[in-house]
Amino acid sequence: MRCPLCSGPVREADGRLACEVGHEVAEDDLRESTDARLAEALWMAIEALDSEAQVLGLLGRGSDNRFADDAASQAAMLPDFARRHAGHIDA
């Protein structure tokens, strides 16, 4: 769990959530920021896989493009995963 204000680790102590700096974190804010971080990470992965598929496709023109096809199919699976695990994502 990361603090929405400073990205520091959040811990639960004495019935409250707070980061090491002392920012007290509301449960709704923690959930919202965690969803946003997950969405950002997933879209970064999707973009990286798309780029890899394009590069492998360029480099492997005229030969077996199995690796490019693998990267493209993995990139195609991630938006579904993103929609299921971070409900506010539009793809």
Chain residues that interact with Zn ion, rule: CB under 5 A: 3, 5-6, 8, 19, 21, 23
Q: Which is nearer to Zn ion, 23 or 37 (CB)?
A: 23
CB of 21 to Zn ion, least distance (A): 4
| C-alpha span between 21 and 66 (Å, rounded) | 49
CB of 23 to Zn ion, least distance (A): 3
| C-alpha span between 19 and 42 (Å, rounded) | 24
Q: Which is nearer to Zn ion, 33 or 53 (CB)?
A: 33
Q: Which is nearer to Zn ion, 8 or 57 (CB)?
A: 8
Element (H, E) at 10: strand 10-13
CB of 37 to Zn ion, least distance (A): 14
Sign of CA dihedral 52, 57, 63, 69: positive
